[in-house]
Every structure is written in C-alpha cells, then in structure tokens.
Amino acid sequence: MVIRKRRRGKYNAQPVVIDGIRFASKAEGAYYRLIRNKPQKVTIQESFEILSAFKINGKRYSAR
C-alpha cells in the first residue's frame, strides 16, 4: 500500500475554517474577519446588465 503525502498548492496556502466557512488561505480568512464586523452589506457576484437590448435599422440586438 502506497501512502501519498498531500500536495500543497502553488502558493503554499493553508486552508482555514472560520464560523463554519472554509477559506482557501489564511489571508482570505483574515479579510473575512475584517469585513464581518463592518455594518455595510457585502454582495458577492452581483449580476447586472452591461448593455440593454436595442434596434438598428429594424434589426433587434439582444441584451448581453
């Protein structure tokens, strides 16, 4: 039976768990601790429309 060591990532980041959330590095965990005490609301990957639908010479172009 071969026992393999667990490979570390390219940047030697060590995963950390804070408040039940797993972060890929200690730096991400430290940033989370910094922003969790702030009263502002943080949104992640908020969707928005860059360009709405429009018509040119009777041809309709869809929103992207």
- pTM for this one? 0.47
In the 3-class helix/strand/coil scheme, how is the chain assigned residue by residue?
CCCCCCCCCCCCCCCEEECCEEECCHHHHHHHHHHHCCCCCCCCCCCCCCCCCEEECCEEECCC
Residue-wise pLDDT tens digits, 6-48: 776 788 888 999 989 999 999 999 999 988 877 777 677 888 8
Number of structural domains the chain divides into: 1
Q: Is residue 2 assigned to a domain?
A: no
Q: Is residue 20 assigned to a domain?
A: yes
Which structural domain, as residue segments, surrounds residue 22? 10-38
Q: Is residue 53 assigned to a domain?
A: no
- Residue 30: per-residue pLDDT: 92
